[in-house]
Amino acid sequence: PHAPGLELSGAGRTVPLAGGGHIEYANLDAAASAPALAAVERTVAAVVEQYASVHRGAGWHSRVCTELYEGARRPVRDFVGGRPTDAVIFTRNTTDSLNLLAHCLPARTTVVVFETEHHAALLPWVHHHVIRLPAPASPAEAVALVDDALRRRPAGPALLVITGASNVTGELWPVGELAAVARSRGARVALDAAQLAPHRPFSITELGVDYVALSGHKLYAPYGTGALVGPADWLDQADPYLLGGGATATVTDDAVTFKPVPERHEAGTPNVLGAVALATACHLLAGADHEALATAEHLLTDRLRDGLSAIPGVTVHTLFGSGGSGRPDGPGSEADEVPGIGVATFTVTDRPAALVAAALSAEYGIGVRDGAFCAHPLVRRLLGAAGCADSGADGQAVRASIGLGTTSEHVERLIAAVRRIALHGPRLQYVVRDGRPVP
């Protein structure tokens, strides 16, 4: 997908091939980290020129930096359709945002979470009562499981943690329905939007969720900045996430008082560049032609999934049995197909995932990801269900993902390369060095 104003930094760069020569890099790993927008890069460069202390400095550039930092909250809140009263707390990434939320939950909170979640959404709740739900067979079953768990929970506050789009299967979860059920049972909802946010516009108020967590590096901004957006009450009742300057209102010999959010949970000198970069990306993405982007992504996604599935020995894995982007007229689509973002996770019979990924990079200039994608229970389940556990898949899979800048040439190159690797193996010999196959 391409759109005016959303050009990527470093687009069209080439990478070396192991056999000699260079080729245009086919980055099919946007789901892990997306390249920055060129406009974000320019904004960061402009802010670097203004570099000065933030918040406590009285100089001109300090005031500019402070305004830039504080002004970065609004575009992030608008991007996720937050309420005017929602706090925007800058964090390091989605993992940090969800750990911050876990830190702020009231005592005796019950947390309901599917075992299929990314570890960032699955694990931070260790100090609370957790109800871990098994993988549902369909979106409707997901709603029923949540309803049942929340109905039977112990008295007290409750939080449903749910992903918007899976980083493994790309499937979109029925967030609106899940949130409605959670609300009817008196629970709050935290949305892990790490994968949803780069692909689909959404709104806290329309979905009926409370908290949203996202990462800048998946949203065409650099690494190191994320956000937690949501109501201030629980966040203000909790002790600061970090103790130190910036979070404190007063400090005497024997007492400390703390500021309200967002400062309460942003102790220490903030990441001004990261916040401004994230806000710029949010602003630009919010103004994009979403219909045109989604159409382009659907076409590429359908081709990616269909092309891979048609190769003998290749299995594309989904939880809900969906075979495409969910486009009503997409190839092989069915009325009840679960829509998804541009992600295809696959295994190749008798070809270890790490070897496939290494060959794609070294021989074809294609970047993908291999492993279990920080969602071990889900990947184990998908491979087990597909009968891959004993076909050489070794608990790992390969993930190709589409983002801004992905072209049909990238997708066709991947399909042709996987076909060749599946049928004939890699062209080169590989040895394992530091745990990775290298030619």
Binding site for ligand PMP (CB under 6 A): 93-95, 118, 120-121, 163, 167, 192, 194-195, 215, 374
Rounded to a whole number of angstroms, the minimum distance from the CB of residue 273 to ligand PMP is: 17
Taking the least distance from each CB to ligand PMP, the nearer of 33 and 110 is: 33
Cβ count within 10 A of residue 233: 12
Buried-exposed string 165-204: b where 16+ CB fall within 10 A, e elsewhere: bbbbbbbbbbbebbbbbbbebebbbbbbbbbbbbbbbbeb
Taking the least distance from each CB to ligand PMP, the nearer of 100 and 360 is: 100
Torsion of CA 235, 237, 242, 246, to 10 degrees: 90
Rounded Cα distance, 121 and 114, in Å = 9
As beta bridge partners, residue 436 has 433
DSSP 390: T
Rounded Cα distance, 257 and 264, in Å = 10
In this structure, which amino acid lies at residue 243?
L
Rounded to a whole number of angstroms, the minimum distance from the CB of residue 341 to ligand PMP is: 10
In this structure, which amino acid lies at residue 204?
I
Rounded to a whole number of angstroms, the minimum distance from the CB of residue 85 to ligand PMP is: 26
Taking the least distance from each CB to ligand PMP, the nearer of 274 and 365 is: 274
Rounded to a whole number of angstroms, the minimum distance from the CB of residue 35 to ligand PMP is: 15
Rounded Cα distance, 135 and 436, in Å = 31
Rounded to a whole number of angstroms, the minimum distance from the CB of residue 95 to ligand PMP is: 3
Q: Is 18 helix (H, G, I), strand (E, B) or coil?
A: coil
Taking the least distance from each CB to ligand PMP, the nearer of 66 and 166 is: 166
Taking the least distance from each CB to ligand PMP, the nearer of 346 and 364 is: 346
DSSP 263: G
Rounded Cα distance, 122 and 4, in Å = 37
> Please, which contacts does 150-154 make with residues 24 or more away whose CB atoms are closer than 8 Å?
150/112, 150/181, 150/182, 150/185, 150/186, 150/187, 151/185, 153/110, 153/112, 153/129, 153/185, 154/108, 154/110, 154/129
Taking the least distance from each CB to ligand PMP, the nearer of 118 and 298 is: 118
Backbone angles phi, psi at 130, to 5 degrees: -110, 130
Rounded to a whole number of angstroms, the minimum distance from the CB of residue 119 to ligand PMP is: 8
Taking the least distance from each CB to ligand PMP, the nearer of 215 and 325 is: 215
Q: Which residues contact 4 (CB under 8 A, 6 or more apart)?
A: none
Q: Which residues contact 350 (CB under 8 A, 6 or more apart)?
A: 313, 391, 392
Rounded to a whole number of angstroms, the minimum distance from the CB of residue 213 to ligand PMP is: 7
DSSP strand E in 30-94: where? 87-91
Rounded to a whole number of angstroms, the minimum distance from the CB of residue 195 to ligand PMP is: 5
Rounded to a whole number of angstroms, the minimum distance from the CB of residue 175 to ligand PMP is: 13
Rounded to a whole number of angstroms, the minimum distance from the CB of residue 177 to ligand PMP is: 19
Half-sphere exposure in the Cβ direction for 313 (13 Å, CA): 18
Rounded to a whole number of angstroms, the minimum distance from the CB of residue 74 to ligand PMP is: 22
- Determine the residue with CB nearest ligand PMP: 167
Taking the least distance from each CB to ligand PMP, the nearer of 116 and 333 is: 116
Rounded Cα distance, 313 and 351, in Å = 9
* Residue 54, both tokens: 């933030």
Taking the least distance from each CB to ligand PMP, the nearer of 195 and 396 is: 195
Taking the least distance from each CB to ligand PMP, the nearer of 95 and 110 is: 95
Taking the least distance from each CB to ligand PMP, the nearer of 31 and 348 is: 31
